[in-house]
Amino acid sequence: MNSVGEGCTDLKREYDQCFNRWFAEKFLKGDRSEDPCTEMFKKYQSCVQKAIKEKDIPIDGVEFMGPNKEKPGS
């Protein structure tokens, strides 16, 4: 799946690969150490936020998840 911003698609794929590798090789095997993909996620997130702003996509009232954020109600 491509990203909301065409220029963000490569960053999305890189992050997805990093996360999937960490999740399968570390997290599912009990290694709960820090996610090595956090910086990559931040770069991708910044790109997406810029694309959303440039495309004037309304996001009022939308809550975003990311590293170090807990789910609402938890």
pTM over 0.85: no
Full residue range of the structural domain in which residue 43 is found: 6-55
Compare 65 and 63 and report the one with higher pLDDT: 63
> How far, in Å, CA of 49 to CA of 46, rounded?
5
Would 43 be classed as within a structural domain?
yes
Q: What is the mean pLDDT of the chain?
A: 82
Span 11-48, pLDDT tens digits: 999 999 999 999 999 999 999 888 899 999 999 999 99
Using alpha carbons only, how large is the chain's radius of gyration in Å?
Answer: 14
Would 45 be classed as within a structural domain?
yes
Would 74 be classed as within a structural domain?
no
Q: How many domains does the chain have?
A: 1
Would 72 be classed as within a structural domain?
no
Count CB-CB contacts under 10 A for residue 11.
19
Would 68 be classed as within a structural domain?
no
pLDDT at residue number 12: 94
